[in-house]
Amino acid sequence: MAERRGGSVDFFGPPTRLRLAAANPEPFRAARGAHWPEGERAARRGARPSLRPGRDAAATRLRLDPLTPPGDYTVMLELADGGEREAHVVVEARPRLRVSPSGLRLEGAPGGAASARLLVENRGNVGVTIGDALVTGVFDDDGIETALASTYRLDTDDVNRIVGHVFARLRDAHGGLLRLRVTEGAGEIAPGERRMLALETTLSSKLRRGHGYHGVLEIGQHGIAVELRIAGTKEDTHQEGTAR
């Protein structure tokens, strides 16, 4: 039976990037591998810990299964002389989602309905909750360029007027809030689980025909790019404005 030596070496971080946190890393220099002790609860996952020695002892890293839940664990370090020693490991929460397609794309007319589906996979080690409603702001793709172009045409050197004009045009380019209803797939997604989300929305009647809008939707600390295409042409928007 391999000898167990006194002392412990602490690792801290997300499960796949646990860094050595011991005040004195030198005793760790002799470590060559790692395994779960008999009876350790994380061993039920069947994934063996892997040790990556660094150029010096302080750079040594430990890797566990990506789905290892947050908490305290004990890992046995395998020493060069055949002995073993315990290491105290603290695993942090690491929310991580994978979304397919990589962005959310919606198309429709002002005031009309739009829908999309997203496949969400939880690759982190904590559950992620998807609410019944998701909200993000959207901005006209041409908003900044249009605001600057109209400012260049101003016949004034008044700084206050110029700055005020820029911000007014930028505000005009804001498309408001995009409110999405999660009609399928709401609830908690467990680590390792995949789920299809069905999303529906009613587009704001203030969105401009023929324009594109963009935003970022946050789901479980994961940012998803949003692309919104409004049916019609930019000439339609101009004619509607003239008619008013």
Question: For residue range 95-113, what is the model confidence (pLDDT) as tens digits?
Answer: 999 999 999 999 999 999 9
Question: Residue 179 is which amino acid?
Answer: R
Q: d(Cα 222, Cα 136) in Å, to the nearest integer? A: 13
Q: d(Cα 75, Cα 57) in Å, to the nearest integer? A: 17
Q: What is the average pLDDT across 149-157?
A: 83
| Domains along the sequence of the chain with CATH | 4-91 (2.60.40), 97-243 (2.60.40.10)
DSSP label at 55? S
Q: d(Cα 13, Cα 17) in Å, to the nearest integer? A: 6
Tell me, yes or no, if the pTM score tops 0.85: no
Residues in Cβ contact with 236 at an 8 Å cutoff, skipping those fewer than 6 apart: 209, 210
Question: For residue range 41-96, what is the model confidence (pLDDT) as tens digits?
Answer: 555 555 789 888 877 778 889 999 999 999 999 888 888 888 888 889 999 999 99
Q: What is the pLDDT of residue 145?
A: 83
